[in-house]
Amino acid sequence: MIHLSETLRLFHINRVLLRHGLDEVVLATHLLRPLRFLTYLSPWYWLRRERAPYPVRIRCVLEDLGPIFVKFGQILSTRRDLLPDDLAIELAKLQDRVPPFPGRIARTMIEKAWGQPIENVLDAFDETPLASASIAQVHTARLKDGREVVVKVLRPGIERVIRRDVRLLYTIAGLAQRYWKDGRRLRPVDVIREYEKTIYDELDMQREAANASLLRRNFLNSEKLYVPEVYWDLTRGDVLVMERIFGTPVSDVPALKAQGVSMQLLGERGVEIFFTQVFRDNFFHADMHPGNIFVEPSGRYIAIDFGIVGTLSTEDQRYLAENLLAFFKRDYRRVAELHVESGWVPRHTRVEEFESAIRTVSEPIFEKPLAEISFGHFLVRLFQVARRFDMEIQPQLVLLEKTLLNIEGLGRQLYPQLDLWTTAKPFMERWMNEQVGPKAFLAHMRRNFGPVSERLPDLPLLTFNVLDRLTHERMAIQWRSEELTRLRQEVQAGHARAKANAAASALFVSGTLLLVFGPGELLSPVAAQALAGLCLVAAAALFAWRTRSAQAG
């Protein structure tokens, strides 16, 4: 049941759709579809001015509906396996243009989280926000020991707003799945479920702090990436305190060139950082858009905003590495087999058909120079093809695809000649070598030695328990075997008695008929009487045997 507040919000959404000329969306709903013909009777339908392209109007609607819908559009733009290319590209332009909330409110929320006045903890706090987004806003501050920090605080009441709009999105998705012709194929309810998990994860500042700490540990003392320090003693569920960083936004190419930073080095380092996170650390920053990346004068990257991260299982890593290696070898059959082996497409999928579909998508890519081949777009096309074969899209791979597209776009913006394959291939080959062969075998042995050695003293007792259980099970099996043998013998004896009964009955009837109706033309009277006697004696013998057999059973 839809609440009153959701009903009002739904009317507001319809009004925004109409204002941006998306009346076809409103009139395509189940309830209003019968009234669609009325639009053709309206003079405004024929006299309205030329409208912007459909994807542009969708983007404007999401921007007008507020930050939660903007966030949803940003996440939806990564689902290129579901959306047309022009719509996905347009949604990727969505920006968080949210007015800041008053600094005094931020101060009050921080003091409540810390349980004491800000002056007891900070030497300075700037109430004018450094940045403001849909979920939180950031203020600069200085600790008592002089260290510069940033304080990230959740927007007041944001959780209530998110809950209301997520419920509404579920309602809209449910209607779409029920009445939209592509609803079942695109599964909008599942898309909203993914969005719900992502948006609620971003509400937990301690979770973001944990992500930042792990990424910092993975790249400690690295010359390629710097991750700011988290101040855990000041971090709470709705407040995050981190080291303040200073750098040039990665999108400010003229400023970077003026500092003498090599664009080729930046482009290649971005790819190296991404594949290091994926294949070495199995933990990657999944929100690497230009607004979250800065550069030091030395050319070292600085990352911020760790609300969205991704991880891959060993199977996922193997899938990615083998797929890309097979792709560049044009071994499309292996790509198809990998999908079936991983269980992401049904086992009954015909590999030959799947291979043919992948070849159709992949071959045109190789008409381009190697430096122009896009890994990200290859994964997008691969997912789109696999979708036709009922592939279950994995959320972690969607994050990977989105991040790879961001890294590729950024790398080629900085250095258009960037050869992604040359940069990425060593990472994948090194990872594959680490997973197979003698080194991998010894590494697995070392990893498993600890748990195995802990259980070695228990081995005699475990062996005794297994043998004891086997003995009892063998006795039970033997008993069941004897029972089955006896039952089989009884069935066989029953069959024999039934046959004897049938034969005795037939002999008795034959003997009786010979005695009653005589010999006929074929037998003499003496022969007929003798044969009748034999039949009756044989019938009596069979009846007697059947009776004794039944009594013995």
Q: What is the pLDDT of residue 190?
A: 76
Whether residue 321 is found in the same domain as residue 447: yes
Binding positions are 130-138, 152
Please report whether residue 351 resides in a domain: yes
Range of weakest confidence among 111-125, 283-297, 336-350: 336-350
Q: 329 and 402 in one domain?
A: yes
Model pLDDT, residue 316: 78
* Per-residue pLDDT reduced to its tens digit, 285-339: 988 877 889 999 999 999 999 988 888 877 777 777 887 788 777 888 888 888 7
Query: In the structure, what pLDDT confidence band is assigned to residue 37 with cuts at 50, 70 and 90?
Result: very low
Q: Report percent pLDDT > 90 for the chain.
A: 20
- The total number of structural domains that make up the chain: 2
Strand partners, 155: none
Q: What are phi and psi of 140, to 5 degrees?
A: -90, 150
Domain that holds residue 340: 312-453
Range in 54-68, 205-219, 238-252 the model is least confident about = 54-68
Element (H, E) at 74: helix 67-76
Segment holding 493, helix H or strand E = helix 459-517
The pLDDT of residue 289 is 78
Which range of 91-100, 121-130, 536-545 scores highest in mean pLDDT? It is: 121-130
Question: Of the candidates 421, 453, 485, which is a domain's last residue?
Answer: 453
Strands across the sheet containing 293-295 = 225-226, 301-303, 293-295, 248-249
Task: Give the whole-angstrom CA distance, residue 151 versus residue 121.
Answer: 12
Q: What is the rounded average pLDDT of the residues 84-110? A: 81
Q: Is residue 317 part of a domain?
A: yes
Residue after which a domain boundary falls, among 388, 422, 453: 453
Instruction: Kindly state the helix (H) or strand (E) to which residue 504 belongs, with its residue range.
Output: helix 459-517
Confidence (pLDDT) at 217? 95
Taking the C-alpha atoms of residue 252 and residue 303, their distance in angstroms, rounded to an integer, is 15
140 pLDDT band, cuts 50/70/90, is very high
**Which residues are catalytically annotated?**
287
Highest mean pLDDT (candidates 161-175, 282-296, 422-436, 478-492): 282-296
Most confident among 37-41, 283-287, 289-293, 503-507 (mean pLDDT): 283-287
Whether 471 and 500 map to the same domain: the answer is yes
Residue among 127, 124, 97, 134 nearest 109 (CA): 127
| Half-sphere exposure (Cβ direction) of 544: Cα atoms closer than 13 Å | 6
Residue 409 sits in the same domain as residue 439: yes
Domain contains 259: no
Residue with tokens 């992949």: 362
Query: Final residue of a domain: which of 453, 482, 503?
Result: 453
Does one domain contain both 421 and 465?
A: no
Is the domain of 499 the same as that of 440?
no
- Whether 414 shows a pLDDT value over 80: the answer reads yes
The answer to whether residues 100 and 137 touch, using CB atoms and an 8 Å cutoff, is yes
| Mean pLDDT confidence for 531-547 | 70
Q: In this structure, is the dihedral angle defined by the CA atoms of residues 50, 51, 53 and 54, taken in order, positive or negative? A: negative
A 10 A CB-CB count for 103 gives 15
What's the confidence (pLDDT) of residue 6? 59
pLDDT at 209: 95
Assigned domain for 507 exists: yes
Residues 491-501 have pLDDT tens digits of 677 767 667 66
Residue 268 forms part of a structural domain: no
User: What is the structure's pLDDT at 361?
Assistant: 77
Tell which residue, 320, 236, 228, has the closest CA to residue 278: 320
The per-residue pLDDT for 141 is 95
38 vs 269, residue with greater confidence = 269
Binding-site entries for ATP? 130-138, 152
The whole-number pLDDT of residue 65 equals 78
Going by C-alpha positions, the residue among 413, 157, 372 that lies closest to residue 267 is: 413
411 and 437 housed in the same domain: yes
Among 129-133, 435-439, 522-526, name the most confident range: 129-133
- Kindly state whether residues 340 and 471 are assigned to the same domain: no
Report if residue 86 sits inside a domain: no
Q: Do 413 and 473 fall within a single domain?
A: no
Asked whether residue 324 falls in the same domain as residue 449, the answer is: yes
> What pLDDT, on a 0 to 100 scale, did the predictor assign at position 40?
44
Residues 129 and 105 sit within 8 Å (Cβ to Cβ): no
Same domain, 448 and 500: no
- Judge whether 400 lies within some domain: yes
* pLDDT reported for residue 44: 46
Give the pLDDT band of residue 448 (cuts 50, 70, 90).
low
**Percent of the chain clearing pLDDT 70 (strictly above):** 66
Are residues 421 and 464 both part of a single domain?
no
What pLDDT does residue 46 have? Answer: 44
Measured CA to CA, the distance from residue 405 to residue 66 in angstroms comes to 26
pTM over 0.75: no
Does residue 230 sit within a domain? no
**pLDDT, tens digit, for every residue of 173-225?**
777 777 666 556 566 777 778 778 878 888 899 999 999 999 999 999 999 99
pLDDT at 49: 58
Which of 172-181, 223-232, 477-486 is the most confident on average?
223-232
Position 45 pLDDT exceeds 70:
no
